Every structure is written in structure tokens, then in C-alpha cells.
Amino acid sequence: MSAPAARHPGIDRLRGLAIVLVVLHHLGLRIPLRDSVLADWLPHRLLAALNYNGYEAVFVFFVISGFLIAGNALDRWGDLARIDLRAFYLRRASRILPLLLALLAVLSLLHALGVPDYVIQRPGQSLGGAVVSALGLYLNWYEGRTGYLPGSWDVLWSLSIEETFYLGFPLVCLLARWRRVLVPLLLILALSLPWSLAAITGNEIWKEKAYLPGMAAIAMGVLAALLLHGRLPLRRAAWLLRWGGGALLAAVMLAMPWFWRWLHDGAMLVLVSATAALLLGMTAARPMPGGASAPVWRGLEHWGRLSYEIYLTHMFVVFAAVRLWHAIGADRRTGVLWYVPACIGCLILAWGVARGFTQPVERWLRGSRLAQS
């Protein structure tokens, strides 16, 4: 068996690439690369792929999440049917809740102070409704019913899907007991992705943020973890899985409009399947020699290890950069020049949050007597 997936550098790189795409998406909605000088040199399709794959990147995160959390549970307890509920929930809470609660407190204060970009003001929305929906893990449904929240709130839609899945996941594992029962259930959920998307009509926000499609992507990651920890000779197929999955994932990201045109909602199933194949290929094979020394890989690994902190805090930097860009009246053709400092700012802010807050709190919570029970 390969080394635990959580320590595999390839997964940090993939997470890093996904969170970079999320940041570029939120920048691109406000400072589009297609209006910059890059449009004179690079194809429109490439610029669109850099700016408008944030949603697809979140589904890549969903697959990675299922793969890592199921893989860690298998490493820790040997079988998903032996999950310790208390330990599982405490580990999730220690990772997710401290930064989430801190973010909600900061956003509530900014709303109360009337700071632009942070005020909740759509009809039918309120600060209380946003806070309760974020804590109740239904902010995605709240947005589907009332409209988009400000950007720093909006990112929490994926957390509502992910953590709802993990509330029920260990219970299903304990009730199913045998893999021959659990695997078909996960497979049905994973393959339901295009149909659950197609069934949602008339509400584009809900179609984008509904529970079942996101949970289907997480289930695909769990299935990949079960394959990795099974008895299949994956090492023999690792090269094909890694390069085939990587090439297909890149093709979907670069040509998503074409995939949507021909496959419609099935394009997302291709995306999550390619991600699962890539994860299996990377972790089933021996690490490539010398790969970790390349600066681009080291950079992506840093982004990947800080992906949760970046995801929850990057809109602070995005909003600040866009406000400054407008304030000085910068030429839209020079907009690309704002991407590098904005990305560096996102990384620095996340690093500071992780070192000064989330990591110490997580260590303290996991080191407590409850976390060790």
C-alpha cells in the first residue's frame, strides 16, 4: 500500500491548483483577463479557463475531500465500518469550526459597520439569516432562495454541502457495515451527478449549489479511497490513471464549454471521474524523483496545504485589490498586473491565519482528552 494519501505531495499540488483557480475566478469576475494585455498574446479559451473555472475547481476539492477523509479514516481505523463517531466528529470540528466561527464574527462586524462589499442588503436577506444558515449548513439553500450573498459569505456554500455530507457519512458507514453494501450506495450517489444537476431547472443559483451534485463528487472521492486501500493491483495501472486522469482533467478545464455543449450536465461527471483517476494514479505510484524540488511544485504545495485558510479568507484580499484598482483608475489592460500581488496577499494572509490561529487551536483541540478518546 502507498503512503497515507494525506502526506502525498501530489495531492497538495492538486489542491493548490484548485484553490489558485478559485482565487483567479473571483479576481476575474472583477478584473477580467480578457480585457488585459494578455488578450493580445494568449488564446481567449486559455484566459477563460484561468478566470472561469472556479466552480469546477470546487468540485475538484469535493473529490479530494472525500478521498482524503475516507483514506485517513481507513488508515486510522482499518475499515469504515469501525469509525469512531466521537473522534471523527471532533477531528472535523477542530479543523472546520475555529476559522468558520472567527470568519462569521469578522463578517458580522464588517456588516454592522457598513463596510462596502460586506453589507448584506438583498431583499429577504439579513445578517441573522446569513449567520444561522452558515452555522446550520444550509447557506447554499439560503442563497438559492434569496440570491447571492456578498462574496466573503458566498464562499461558504460549499462548506454547507461538504459538512452536511460528513455529518451523515460515518453513520451510513456504521449502518452499512459491509463494503458490498456501502460501495453500491456510494456508486449510485456518485453516478447520479448529471441527473441531479439536470433535475434542477428554473433556479440557476440552486443548480450551482444544490446538495446532491456536490455530495456526488465527494462520494467519488470516497470510492477512490476505497479502491486505493483495497486489494486491486493499482500500481500496475498507476501511470495510466495519473496521466490519463490528468490529461482528461486538463482537457475539461480548458474546454469546459465544449464539454457542456456535447455532454451537458454529464461534463461534471467527467470532471470528478478524471480527478478521482488522477488521485488514484498519484497515490498508487511511487513519487516521481526530483519532482518535489521544482519551484512550481513547491509553490502549489504551499497553496494546497493552506487551501482551507485561503478559501475562507481570500475575498478580503480580492475586495481590497479591486477597490484599490478602481480608486486609482487603473487601465483595464493592466489588470493582469494586479493578479500577482493579490495572489501573494492571499497566501500571506492565509499563512498568518494558519500559523497564528487555526493550527494552534487545532493542535490544542486534538490534544485535549476529548480528542484523544
Determine the structural domain holding residue 194 and report its residue range: 5-372
Confidence at residue 371, expressed as pLDDT on a 0 to 100 scale: 43
Any idea what the Cα angle at residue 220 is, between residues 217 and 226, rounded to 5°? 150
pTM reported for the whole predicted model: 0.94
Phi, psi (rounded to 5 degrees) for 334: -95, 10
From CA 267, how far away is CA 46, in angstroms rounded?
18
221-259 residues labelled b (16+ CB within 10 A) or e (exposed): bbbbbbbbbeeeebeebbeebbeebbebbeebbbbbeeb
From CA 228, how far away is CA 219, in angstroms rounded?
14
CB within 8 Å of 170: residues ≥ 6 apart? 73, 80, 83, 85, 88, 89
Confidence at residue 233, expressed as pLDDT on a 0 to 100 scale: 74
Give me 134's grid cell: 452558515
From CA 61, how far away is CA 65, in angstroms rounded?
6
From CA 22, how far away is CA 372, in angstroms rounded?
35
From CA 327, how far away is CA 116, in angstroms rounded?
14
From CA 226, how far away is CA 276, in angstroms rounded?
11
Give me 360's grid cell: 494552534
Give me 276's grid cell: 478521482
Give me 40's grid cell: 493580445
From CA 86, how far away is CA 159, in angstroms rounded?
20
36-55 residues labelled b (16+ CB within 10 A) or e (exposed): bebeeeeeeeebbbbbbbbe
Distance of CA 280 to CAs 2, 68, 222, 285, Å?
A: 10, 11, 11, 8
Q: For every one of its 373 residues, what pLDDT tens digit does the chain have, with 9 covering 90 and above? A: 333 455 688 999 999 999 999 999 999 999 999 999 999 999 999 999 999 999 999 999 999 999 999 999 999 999 999 999 999 999 999 999 999 999 999 999 999 999 999 999 999 999 999 999 999 999 999 999 999 999 999 999 999 999 999 999 999 999 998 889 999 999 999 999 999 999 999 999 999 999 999 999 999 999 999 999 887 778 788 999 999 999 999 999 999 999 999 999 999 999 999 999 999 999 987 655 544 557 888 999 999 999 999 999 999 999 999 999 999 988 889 999 999 999 999 999 999 999 999 999 999 998 864 444 4
Give me 25's grid cell: 475566478
CB within 8 Å of 229: residues ≥ 6 apart? 1, 71, 74
* Structural domains of the chain, count: 1
Confidence at residue 4, expressed as pLDDT on a 0 to 100 scale: 43
Confidence at residue 60, expressed as pLDDT on a 0 to 100 scale: 98
Any idea what the Cα angle at residue 254 is, between residues 161 and 143, rounded to 5°? 25
Determine how many CB atoms are found less than 10 A away from the CB of residue 369.
Answer: 6
Give me 35's grid cell: 480585457
Confidence at residue 287, expressed as pLDDT on a 0 to 100 scale: 58
Confidence at residue 204, expressed as pLDDT on a 0 to 100 scale: 96
Confidence at residue 156, expressed as pLDDT on a 0 to 100 scale: 98
Q: How many residues does the chain have?
A: 373
Give me 284's grid cell: 498508487
